[in-house]
Structure 1
Amino acid sequence: MPREAEPSLNEREFIHQALREQTRIDGRALDAFRELRLQFGDERGVVDVRLGKTRVIARISAEVVAPYPDRKFDGIFTITTEFSPMASPAFEVGRYTSDEIILSRILEKAIRRSSAIDTESLCIIAGLKCFFIRADVHIIDHDGGLVDASCIAVMTALQHFRRPDVSVEGENVTIYSLREREPVPLSMLHHPLCITFSYYDSGEIVLVDANRLEEQTREGEVIIAMNMHGEVCQISKFGGTPVDALVLLNCTNVALKKVQTITKFIQRQLEEDMRKRDVGGLMAELSAENER
């Protein structure tokens, strides 16, 4: 079974000693994120997120299907993850690792179960037809912070995506192409993001956005998912290190500031992309065709 190279004892001791002196190997503060970059694809709903050297691509797709029998008035929303072998030597096609299982569960609880998307708005005809929204998360490069980067990628892609407009006459459904009607944005109820805290020295030292080397030497982690209004969607703890209640409370305060900062950054990037794409809308395109 392939494995990722683990840090030596000297590397572990060097990292821990540096952290005791409030220093990180890349020069960041203990509560600082790496540089976050967003790049949108030509197609709506495709987002390339880079958090330091970590790279995640999210793609949103939609199709019309029959709803679940026990959820006749709701659409369907799912999240799937795929770890590319080129992201890490520990990843293989068709073999699930603990990183992939944890990532899938965290995204499921933070985004889908917290009702980030209004699934009722995806219903077309109750019990017959609805939109099936699928978020595909592709891990391209792994240098730590997969949960945080993947959550940012999915939430940004959901806001960037536009589904086709539809009209209903009886049981007849008409799905309009992009040239016939402007596509419709998804109805979002809130925008949760994940912030990961890594613990060292029995919880005495806490880091935000650990890179891969720091992750390999930590004793435990806490992942907090919340939106910019301070509403906590989930708290997950991994590792055997106990977490003091006051330390956890301080982590939620730090997470709120980080979530608010990242949310504003995402909104600015979405607005900038919208300005680039806005060339007058569908009417301007049709007028140009008529003139030609």
Structure 2
Amino acid sequence: MPRIADVSNVEKNFILEALTSSKLRLDGRQLDQYRSIDLTYGQQLGNATVTLGKTKVNVQISAEVTKPSEERKFDGIFTITTELSPIASPGFEIGRPTEQEVLLSRILEKAIRRSRAIDTESLCIVAGQKCWSVRADVHVLDFDGGLTDACCIATMAALHHFRRPEVSVEGERVTIHTMAERVPVPLSILHSPICVTFSFYADGELVLLDATAKEEQVREAEMVVTANDFEICQIAKHGGKPVDPAIVVKCFQVAISKAREMNKSMRARLTADLAKRDIRGQSAENERGEAPIG
């Protein structure tokens, strides 16, 4: 199976020497600085594309009416699927998920679904009979490191942007209204988790944010911290060298700060995009007391 080309020993030594001796990165960024982040929305509601440096991710949200699971009759369904195709990198292959793809799926699952970012009870239409099944399809279009962070930002941006059709229930009759009949409804989002990935070097003493693909290949360990505007939601550290607890605590503080920045920027871009689309729809949402962002 194809794999991403390893960094040569010369290039590896150069990257590590620049980081450890001079705290310099190949692209000139500070150690705690993200690459430029660009968020754009597609013509369809629930479609968001995030570009993080050279890494590019597109997420499409869709919803359909289905039957809830027997174990959770009062909840709707929310699922996340990821696709890493050869378009993004020669190390990815269709139909053969790599270890990186499996880890990405697990982290997004824990960060967004298991942290209950989406209120699944609000997706219930008729208990035990009908509910909304919301699905997030994550497509990686280009890869140059920072994949988990970019995918999480794109997924949350798409979820905030998505609107589902309005539903009315009369007895056992369920009517799904078109967008022409009634203003579509935003998802009930309880909080906005953002993944922040930390890369460790020099026996865990040196910490980088938003490592490129080459920086990821030479790191000693990584840790993904998921945070919202107020608290830490999850921590994922997969192998690698141990890290001093004091450094981990500092990473938590940085993660919350970065999550606040990301969410603030996301809210501003979402408000601007929705304002261009349908003023009547925005007014109707405001009359209900529903904010554009959860």
TM-score normalized by the length of structure 1: 0.95
Q: Distance in 1 between matches of 2:34 and 2:63?
A: 33
**Structure 1 position 270 matched with structure 2 position 270:** yes
Tell me how far apart the structure 2 counterparts of residues 28 and 164 of structure 1 sit (CA, whole Å): 44
Gaps of 5+ in 1: 284-292
The Cα of 1:282 is off from its aligned counterpart by 9.8
Structure-2 separation of matches of 1:228 and 1:117: 16
Equivalent residues of 1:219, 1:239 under 8 A apart: no
Matches within 5 A, 1:1-292: 1-20=1-20, 21-229=22-230, 231-281=231-281
Q: 1:206, 1:149 → 2: CA distance?
A: 19
Compute the displacement of 1:240 (Å).
Answer: 2.0
Contact 1:75 / 1:131 at 8 angstroms: preserved in 2? yes
Q: CA deviation digits over 1:167-195, x for unaligned, max 9?
A: 00111100000100000000011110000
Kindly provide the amino acid, as one letter, of the partner of residue 26 in structure 2: I
**CA deviation profile, 1:89-127 (whole Å, cap 9, x unmatched):** 111110010110010000000000000000000000000
Question: Could you tell me which amino acid in structure 2 is paired with residue 98 of structure 1?
Answer: E
Match of 2:289 in 1: none
2:70 is matched by which residue type in structure 1? P
- Report SS of the residue matched to 2:238: strand
Q: Say if 1:179 and 1:282, in contact at 8 Å, map to a contact too.
A: no
RMSD (Å) for aligned C-alpha atoms: 1.3
Q: Is the 8 A contact 2:193 2:228 kept in 1?
A: yes
Count of aligned pairs: 283
1:24-80 Cα shifts (integer Å, max 9, x gaps):
100000000000001100000000110010000000000000000110000000000
Normalised to the residue count of structure 2, the TM-score between the two structures is: 0.94
Gaps of 5+ in 2: 284-294
Q: Partner of 1:286 in structure 2?
A: none
Q: CA deviation at 1:239?
A: 3.0
Note closer, same or farther for the CA distance 1:26–1:282 as it changes in structure 2 (3 Å cut): closer
- Shift of the alpha carbon at 1:256? 1.1
CA distance in 1 between counterparts of 2:249 and 2:72 reads 37
Report SS of the residue matched to 1:10. helix
- Residue 236 of structure 1 deviates from its aligned partner by 0.6
* Conservation of the 8 A alpha-carbon contact between 1:110 and 1:194: yes
